[in-house]
């Protein structure tokens, strides 16, 4: 997968196109990610002992990983990545246009 938890990403498709956020969770089997403050859905809840008031809660829903793109720190825009070798021979992600190294 081209993104990891805590990466800053931009949404490139769907109703939230253009929004940026941090990845909270990666759902590898489903090919989806949960991005902070993106793809918000409303959940109507009944009052329970845990949540006495009930009401309408907003929470993030998963979004397809193909609809997000890593944000390059240098340019502030979305970028494609490629795999490369970093210092010490370990695998790293590198921005295609600017050459920014994301890991390590």
Share of the chain above pLDDT 70, in %: 99
Parse the chain into domains and list their residue ranges: 1-71, 74-104
1-71, what's its fold?
SH3 type barrels. (2.30.30)
* pLDDT score recorded for residue 103: 82
| Mean pLDDT in residue range 10-28 | 97
How many CB atoms are closer than 10 A to CB 44? 8
Angle among Cα 99, 75, 90 to the nearest 5 degrees reads 30
Alpha-carbon distance 10 to 72, whole Å? 10
Q: What is the pLDDT of residues 20-55, one digit of tens each?
A: 999 999 999 999 999 999 999 999 999 999 989 999
């Amino acid at each position: 997968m081209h993104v990891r938890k805590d990466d800053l990403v931009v949404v490139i498709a769907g109703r939230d196109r253009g929004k940026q956020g941090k990845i909270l969770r990666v759902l590898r089997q489903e090919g989806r990610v949960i991005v902070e403050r993106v793809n918000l859905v409303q959940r109507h809840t009944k009052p329970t002992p845990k949540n006495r008031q009930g009401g309408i809660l907003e929470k993030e829903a998963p979004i397809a990983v193909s609809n997000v793109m890593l944000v390059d720190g240098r340019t502030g825009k979305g970028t494609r990545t490629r795999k490369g070798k970093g210092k010490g021979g370990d695998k790293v992600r590198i921005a295609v246009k600017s050459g920014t190294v994301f890991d390590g």
